[in-house]
Chains A and B, each alone.
Chain A
Amino acid sequence: MTGLRFFASPRFWRGALPALSLTFVLLGVFWLQPRAMSYFGLNLLFNLAIPIALATIAQMFVIAVNDLDLSIGSFVSLVACIGATWLQETPLLGIAALLGCIAVYACLGALIYIRQLPSIVVTLGMSFVWSGCAVLLLPTPGGSAPDWIRTLVTYKPPYVPMPLIAAAALALIVHFALMRTSWGVLMRGVGGNEKAITRAGWSVLKLKMTMYALTAVFGILAGLTLVGLATSADANIALRYTLLSIAGVILGGGEFVGGRISPIGAVLGAMTLTLTASFLSFLRISPDWQIGAQGAVLIIVLALRAVVNRMEARR
């Protein structure tokens, strides 16, 4: 009885919506192109979803504390450039640069919290800084990814394609860390009611800095994966990730304010967005229209969510 009621509850539908949208798009792809229903096909379909999923998770950490990171795309591009140059030629310098990036992100979190600045403004400004650094480092497209990254991202396990395993692992690890641990509760609490966290005696400053640092960590993972897949880098390689990552979080059931996020949903959202692009290619729709079509998917899913919320309000 209670089980049945759970399946009818808005909470269930809110959680199921990202998975349903992915299934729906995936079925569409299979219907158009049955050959995609293979190890090789799935590998190809979801390969590029992994860096986007990582960037989406990065964005999700910031959204969890009611902020927004408009620099994640240029940051991922910069990391890709670092990966294709310093990390290849002088690994120590490369690692130091990446650690420096994490420190900068943590400081941004502190700055935004202490001065109560709008995160949109700060990160928009930083996006130009990151882009500038990337252009300085790699003025023309080129460089080459370190071999160990290449090996890692092209690894082909038996039976299940690597991107699916990676996506599942990412979703579950972050879900566990953020949704199940006692530490993740505090992180999400900051988004829910900052004052309550302060009154309970925790330092919101430290929590926000941690969240921003985590954003950087996952941004770095996204950049390195991307450069591994693309083999070379370009200062503009991932600029569209900024909007894709935000869309992915929202598509996955997250909300801009209130600390309501879902790591599993975010990964599914990122995969849905990537898949939509392939779906439209199979339909022979020109890439010019694809951004618009992704927007349409977003609108449809959000409209469905509005319906679910209304269902809840009626109760």
Chain B
Amino acid sequence: MTTETAGPLISLDGIQKVFGAVQALSGVDLKIHAGECLGLVGHNGAGKSTLMNILAGTLEASDGNLAVAGDELGKGYSVQDAGRLGIRCVFQELSLCPNLSVAENTRIIHPVLKGFGWQKRAGALIMEQLDLVFPGHGISPNDIVGDLTISKRQMVEIARAFTVTDTNIRLVILDEPTSSLDARVADQLLDYVGRVTRQGISVVLISHLLGEILQVSNKISVMKDGRVVAFKDAADFDRVSLVEAMGSTVVAGAAPRRDQNATTSAGEERIHMRPAGQPDDQSIRAREGEVIGFAGLAGQGQTQALLSIFEGHGVLPSGAQASGCCFIAGDRQVDGVLPLWSIRKNIGVSSLKRLRSGVLIQNEREQELADAWKERIGIRAPDVEAPILSLSGGNQQKVLFARALGSAADIVLMDDPMRGVDVGTKNEVYAIIRQEASQGRTFLWYTTEMEELDYCDRVYVFRDGVVSETLSGGDITEENLLQASFKQVSGAA
């Protein structure tokens, strides 16, 4: 241990990761010393989780070097290697088997827990660690993980990452560890992190709660767009400077927002909806011809709000409901494309009512519709009879847009539809959205990307399932958004 204190424990050098057309990481350098707690912050999609997956060996870097304790680890660095080197990771989505007990889940990461009496030893091991990190946890080693509450599951997973059998742990990565812990338990964890770092174990803490990061970290690294944009001692940061570092210093491009005053007052109101549990009097409103943004950190209830509108909640006049709404899914592989169908059928499926005569679908009419939209939205395919899977991801997304816009729906709900779409396609689609809005359609647009909000007339920032802030017109700035996204829900603590 003592020999390692000279050099960094982990050193990442020019790490790159490419997913298809998306550059998730573009050259990350990072050094972690033994006994250090590194806070890692950044907005959604900044690449934090990808970077940690590479460090944990579950993803392979496309390029760059990774060294642990001075040993260069080349290609083929795997989970097994990470385990051997004492690197553990608590992933954002839990890695426990819900059908197994707490003790059995502990066994999974410890190959040495086998042979006679392993259950007892595994149970004792995890209990000891749970008592150490979360005194008064109320978990028994024979509890089936699936029967535990989400916060207890998270406690088990965190404690499990700190258990030691044959190899000493050197680095523990905690990716959003406190997301489902209440304040008291979260404090226990942060307290424990402080204790283990004093024993020489390094911790990487990823969190959206800046208070936590500032409280326990020695060093803070801020990521943005797959890069580390700031890397300093924690003492050199405060809340405001952290938020500033996460945002872009230069406003990229002129705001393409339409002049709001002309349209907003004119159209009739189409949606008036309050999210369940909204504590104040803010509510989601949308008029004819408006583009409304849903912002905030990922998974704060934006998709649920869209779905509830899709089911007819808050749609005016009441009772008009779902027939007037269409939905563009973000996860196109799961919720969007019909993979075995042609482009034509994929476009036509939302408009079948208009395309049929009697009980039969009129192929010519569907063809017309598909051809018209292929032309208008610029789907790059030889013809609309081609199978949809022959298209690139961006073009598949365009087909989904064509499906929604080609239908008669007045309200278009978009669930982060531009995930993994290249810039060129994005700009084309933005133009069409604006054009359609000016013709009287209403768009509700959940997006995790800042610049897309520049197209919105009004933005609702979500936090914990409710609207935490309503921004409109000139107030839609990156700084305001970040402040609202990271707003501490003080009442809950």
Contacts and interface: CB of A to CB of B under 8 A. Distances in A.
Dominant SS among interface residues on chain A: helix
B79 A200 contact: yes
B199 interface: no
Interface in A172-191: 180-183, 185-186, 188-189, 191
A180 B101 CA distance: 11
Contacts of A192: 97-100
Interface in A189-215: 189, 191-193, 195-202
A196 B99 contact: no
Contact of B91 (A186, A189, A199): A199
A258 interface: yes
Interface in B57-104: 58, 78-80, 83, 89, 91, 95-100, 104
A186 B80 CA distance: 16
Nearest to B119: A180
A306 B95 CA distance: 27
Interface residues of B, number: 28
Contact of B99 (A182, A186, A258): A258
A259 interface: yes
A260 interface: yes
A310 interface: no
Contacts of B78: 201
Contact of B95 (A183, A185, A193, A202): A193
A240 interface: no
A233 to B, nearest CB: 38
Contacts of A156: none
A11 interface: yes
Interface string B106-136: 0111010111001100000000000000000
Contacts of A182: 107, 113-115, 118
Contact of A185 (B108, B144, B146): B108
Nearest to A315: B147
Contacts of A197: 97, 108
Interface in A95-116: none
Given A11-B147, A199-B58, A201-B80, A260 B99 contact: yes
Nearest to B83: A201
Contact of B100 (A189, A198, A201, A202): A189
Contacts of A195: 95
B61 to A, nearest CB: 17
Given A185-B104, A185-B107, A189-B108, A199 B97 contact: no
Contacts of B89: 199
Given A182-B107, A185-B107, A201-B80, A193 B118 contact: no
Contacts of A180: 119
Interface in B387-402: none
Contacts of B58: 198-199
Contacts of B79: 198-201
Interface string A199-237: 111100000000000000000000000000000000000
Contacts of A186: 108
A196 B100 CA distance: 12
B104 to A, nearest CB: 4
Interface centre among B58, B98, B100, B113 (most CB of A within 10 A): B100
A305 B253 CA distance: 60
B96 to A, nearest CB: 6
A186 B99 CA distance: 11
Contacts of A191: 99
Contacts of A199: 56, 58, 79, 89, 91, 95
Contacts of A202: 108
A180 B119 CA distance: 8
A188 B114 contact: no
Contacts of B100: 185, 188-189, 192, 259
Contacts of B105: 189, 196
A297 B99 CA distance: 26
Given A196-B108, A201-B83, A189 B97 contact: yes
A198 B146 CA distance: 19
Interface centre among A189, A198, A199, A202 (most CB of B within 10 A): A199
Interface string A246-262: 00000000000011100
A179 to B, nearest CB: 9
Interface string B25-66: 000000000000000000000000000000010100000000
Contacts of A11: 144, 147
Interface in B141-177: 144, 146-147
A89 to B, nearest CB: 43
Contacts of A198: 58, 79
B99 A259 contact: yes
B121 to A, nearest CB: 10
Interface centre among A180, A182, A198, A202 (most CB of B within 10 A): A182
A303 to B, nearest CB: 22
A187 B146 CA distance: 17
Interface in B185-236: none
Contacts of A188: 97, 99-100, 104
Contacts of B83: 200-201
A199 B105 CA distance: 12
A196 B119 contact: no
Contacts of B99: 188-189, 191-192, 258-260
Contacts of A181: 114
Given A189-B97, A195-B95, A200-B79, A183 B114 contact: yes
Contacts of B113: 182
Contact of A196 (B80, B97, B114): B97
A182 B104 CA distance: 8
A219 to B, nearest CB: 24
Interface centre among B96, B104, B144 (most CB of A within 10 A): B104
Interface centre among A181, A193, A259 (most CB of B within 10 A): A193
Contacts of A185: 100, 104, 107-108
Contacts of A260: 99
A183 B104 CA distance: 10
Nearest to A191: B99
Contacts of A259: 97, 99-100
Contacts of A183: 114
Contact of B109 (A193, A200, A258): A200
Interface of A: 11, 180-183, 185-186, 188-189, 191-193, 195-202, 258-260
- Pairs of residues from A and B, 9 with the lowest C-beta to C-beta distance, nearest first: A192-B97, A192-B99, A182-B114, A196-B95, A259-B99, A189-B97, A201-B80, A193-B97, A201-B79
28 contacts: A181-B114, A182-B114, A183-B114, A188-B99, A189-B99, A189-B100, A189-B108, A193-B96, A193-B98, A196-B95, A196-B96, A196-B105, A196-B108, A198-B58, A199-B56, A199-B58, A199-B89, A199-B95, A200-B79, A200-B83, A200-B109, A201-B80, A201-B83, A201-B109, A258-B98, A259-B97, A259-B100, A260-B99
Given A188-B100, A202-B108, 5 more contacts: A180-B119, A188-B104, A201-B78, A201-B111, A258-B99
